[in-house]
Structure formats: structure tokens, C-alpha cells
Structure 1
């Protein structure tokens, strides 16, 4: 569709660097999308999100249809205006959230009837309704409505689910209203079964979408099995369209997935970790509740330009979490999202320089090294404004 396109700029093995062009701006890839489920990235202002370097964020159909409601969001000018984000927004279709409701939902061939987890009220989602809600939200990227069975599951169950999702993908595509610069992604399903993943890719490419997502992974199968599934799936996907791995993951998950040809990611991990005192750094993960940080005047990371690192010490962050002050989760979420964006920028640079394998070895060696010693990272003078 005119105006929405992904343009490849460099490759290094299976890894790709490119730019996603949309009605709401261009996004360099590989890219990580902060999760803004209900129209907010938890504990962050959108100015703070922008400062991390994020170019695209994610919202969720299920949650926004329940509160404040799709029509209210439309009346308020759409999700971009309501949440103060002018860049692209991708909206998850709500399928994963509905399927996770267990006894509160009833699945049939046409869609899902479910009870709200908030007040028990009854609702219905199907491919047409999910697509219409995402249109009302003014999502830059609309996701197909799909079913994602919990793993482990039998091959028969995964096969039935995948084929149902492919029928729903065709209906989602029929319901999608094309607009310049907007796109819709199909979602590849099939568990960890190579033949089912291949069948799903064929079905989706026959329908035709602006991009393609890989769903049904990072649901407990382990990194090795996730990577082996990507090894057989991404080579089958269209080379000229963006590839999005849903709900992933740790820094090493992102690195390994980029090496296997993935362009886009989202995950609650960095923001959730920030709310629970865990900081991602170039030397691995730190727990700011640990007493060893109580008198440490150093920043979390010497190379990070976020507010937590440039203006505050580890000791202060430790103090905030010990006192259960909300500023602690805010600052640490800011740091973690900044780290994820810096990680992706470094990976992109390595792809364009044809040095990704060496860069990956360096990243993994640093993660395994552990925290900086006092000699490696001298205590700084925390700057203050004039």
C-alpha cells in the first residue's frame, strides 16, 4: 500500500537493517517498541519515552476497548492525540489477552465471547470487531485477530488453532480499511512445529499484508526452542516486508532474534523490571534492592545518558526502592527503556558495518562479566543544573 513500506538498507547474514515508513513517521529497524497497553507506558511520560530514542510504541485493543472505550478514544482525537504520541502506534489485536482469560472466555469458530476481568461484563471479539476497534483507535499498524494456544499443547491442538487463526486472518484483512501510510500485519502461528509454521506463512502471504508477525513464542518454550523455530520460520517470510516477533524479550533474546532476521520487538520486560528494582546494563542485570548499593555513589552505567544515570547514584535509587517511593520505578523504567534503545541502535550499526557477529560476541561477553568494579567505573560527581 502506498506510503507504508519497509526499505532494506543493509544485511549481515540473516540480520537486516532498514527503515519502516508510515503515516506517523519513519522508524529505523531493528527496533524495540515500549509497551503502552492502556495508552501509557507505565511510570513514564511520553516526553520521557521520546528521550529514550523510541520511535514506535504499542497499545492493546482488549484493554482499550474496556477502558476508556474505542469510541471515546476516537472522540478524543485518536490514541496518538490522547496519549501525546505523534509517532507510529502498533495495536495488539486483543487475541492473546482474551485467550489468557481461561474460564472467562468461550471460543467458537467465529470469535470469542468473554467476561471483562474488570467488572465481569460480557463482550465479544471477532476479526471484524477487533479490526474496527483498532481503526477507531487510529492504530498505524493493525494486527490480525488470532488465537494463541498455551504451550505445551498437542500437535493436533496447535494445528487446529493455527488454521482457525488463518481463517480469522483472511477476515481481518477483508475488514481492514486501507489508508495511505497505515498497515496491517498477519501473525504466523504453529507453535514450535516447523511444518505448521511453514503452512501458516504460506497462508498469510497468499492473503497479503504490509508486514508479518511471529506469534506464539516466548510462552514458556525456552530460548533454544524459540531460536530453532525462528531458524525455520523467518527464511520463509517475505524479504521485502517487516518481521515482528511478538512479546520478546531479554537483551539476548533480541540479539539472537535479530541475527535470525527479525526487525521489530515488543515486551513488558524492561518496564516491569524497572518497577521491581531490576536494572539492565551492559554488564548484566542489577537488583537495586541489594544492600551493596546502599552507599554506592556511582551511576548504574557509565555510558547511559538517561536521567537515572546522569543525575542520580545507585545509592539514591536503592534508597527510593527501600522507601517504596514511586520515583524509583519511574527512574529505573526510564533507564531500562533507554538501555533497550541503545542496544538496538548498536545492533543496527553493527549490521550496517557488517560486524554483527563480532558485536554479538562482545555483548555476550560483557553480559557474562558482571557488574563494574570500583576501579573500572570511578565514583562520579553527580551533576546539578545551574
Structure 2
């Protein structure tokens, strides 16, 4: 039997942050193994998927159409990132154990509001606790048994790069995945069952991203729905219904498409369906704890380039807005990546960044820099004109600081 004060179910990147919210408490982390029959919903916080996405950005710059070469590179990337993911989980566990936090593996079953059991290698361990935090991920409830229909995790597990594929898009994540595979030279047909662009929080950048996506190599089937899917032996056949809004009155049209890979947008359910949570009087969710403890809210959309928006929960009234296109900054001119732009909201009195939006090359690097500036309250006055070379990404902040001082 293990007696503890706080149980955290789930070992991932949030675990350490959650554990830090309980200083002085005895904590047990359970690396749970309850969902073998379901597919995890991978997002770009997942090490495996993020590594594949980053590699897709690199190969997209070369605009290569050599499918065989891309397939070989893709397989190497997926395999390498799976290894890195396992190493990363081991590193998280080692850090927790170094802090005196015990970590065990197993299938969780909650017995009552103070007791649960963990089964691992046919051995049961009883755990008593005072409070419980659920730190598990979402899963996809895959109901389609068609051999040509995949969830994202299933497709990555094959380590095969489809030459052509259909992607059902009903969330921003689906759109991100479609773009990632397109970067690897896959010919992607997108079935838009929902206008996911409305989920992007800034109207001006939303329109830019939509235009960029529509001008890409995708074939968009807009305002569409999947009516039926059949297996024809060596391939699948899907019936797609769409709305033709180029005629009046609008007209519904139906078409059939053959496919070898269809990536569907399955219903997402909480990864706690069989833990017995109903036996608890109260429990916390890790994502809600972390969100409430942070003063900075963020949105990242992993297209090409990535869109990033960081902002304080409460913005001041006395703000100066600085908008600049990438082609106006020396750094981007030097590296010949002049598409996109950025927006800063800077407090006129404190000179602190309160909001920043990036839709340009290196936007993920800029995101991490701005988060550091916001967390440590480093003002724009720090970036005086210096001899800092324009080849450094930090030169962007020197130029933004100059624009800010000139306009305030």
C-alpha cells in the first residue's frame, strides 16, 4: 500500500508544473496505461508530433516534389521522434524522482474518494490519497473499421508517408495535420466540414492564414460533409456532399472519391472514461490548474508559418500598438523570408509587452522569447540600439523598440 497526499494521474509535459502547485505535499505520479483500445489525440504539445511538424517546416523550404526522397526522410523523422519521446518521458520521470516524487506505472481504477488501485504486470497496488489531479490527454473514439480510414496516431504508427490522402477537417488541429503532410509533398485533399478559421482569435491574421492555405497545394472541398465510406478491396470510396455557393440559390452537390488513406476527425472524449471518476467527490484537471495559474494566455496554430498569439489575461488601457510586416525588418530581409508580419501591444508607461502576435518565419522562436520577456517583466527599454548584428533574431526586438520609442 502507498499512502500519499496528492495523486497526479498522467506523466507528460504538464506533470512537473502541476506538482509545483503542491509545495511541501507528498505526491505520487501514476503513468497510467488505461487506453490501449483507443487512439490518443496528438496535438503539437506532443513531442512526437511537434518534432515531425518542425521537420516538415524545414523540408517545405526546399519545395521538393521527390516523393521517394520525402518518404525516406519522413520515416526517419517519425522513428527518431518516437525514440526522443520515450527518452523525454524517462527524463521527466527522473526529474520528478530527483524531487522526491514517486512515479509508478499501471492501469488505474478508483475505488472511492480516498482510495484507488493500480494494476501493473498483474500486480495490484493500493493507493490512499487526499486529493487527485487528472493530467490525462484526450482520446479519439474511433468507430470506423474501414482499413483505409485512420486516426492520426494510427497513421504515424505505420511510419508510411501517403502519396495522396483525404483529410476531414472539423478542427484547427485537422488543418494543421493536413498542412504538415502537404509540407512532406503528400497531395492532400481537404474536406472542410466546419469553418475552423473562425477559431483563430485575431481577425486580420485569420484572413491572411485562410488566404495562404487556400493558395497552397491543397484541394479544398468547402462546406462539405462525408455521407458514406465503403471499402472496395484495394481502396476506399467516400461520398462527399458539399454546398455550391457560387450559384443562387445555393445547391447541394454530391461526389465520390477513391482513396487509399482517409484521415478522419473522430469525436474526442476525455481520457478518463474507465477510471471510475464518478466515485470521487471532487478532483482537479491539470489543464485547468495550469491555465488559472498563468497570467499569460496563448494560442498557437501550427500552419506554415506558424501563427502565435500571447497576451496577458487583463490588458492595460494605455497601450501602443506596433504592427510591422516581415519585409520591413532587417533580420527577415537577410534570410530571404519576408512573408507575414507581427503585432505588439506595449504599455506606454512600463514599456512591457502585454500582447504579441507572430505570423512569420521563426514565429515559434519569437513566441518563446516573448514569453520569457513577459514572465520576467523585461521592458522594451532593455533593447537600446546596439551593435547587435541583424543576423540575430533578437535584432527584431531592437527594431521594434526603436519604432516604439519613435511613436510614443
**TM tier, shorter chain?**
under 0.3
Name the one with the larger strand percent: 2
Scaled by the length of structure 2, the TM-score of the pair is 0.24
Higher RCO, 1 vs 2 (CA within 8 Å, ≥6 residues apart) = 1
What is the TM-score with the length of structure 1 in the denominator? 0.25
Structure whose residues are more often helix by fraction: 1
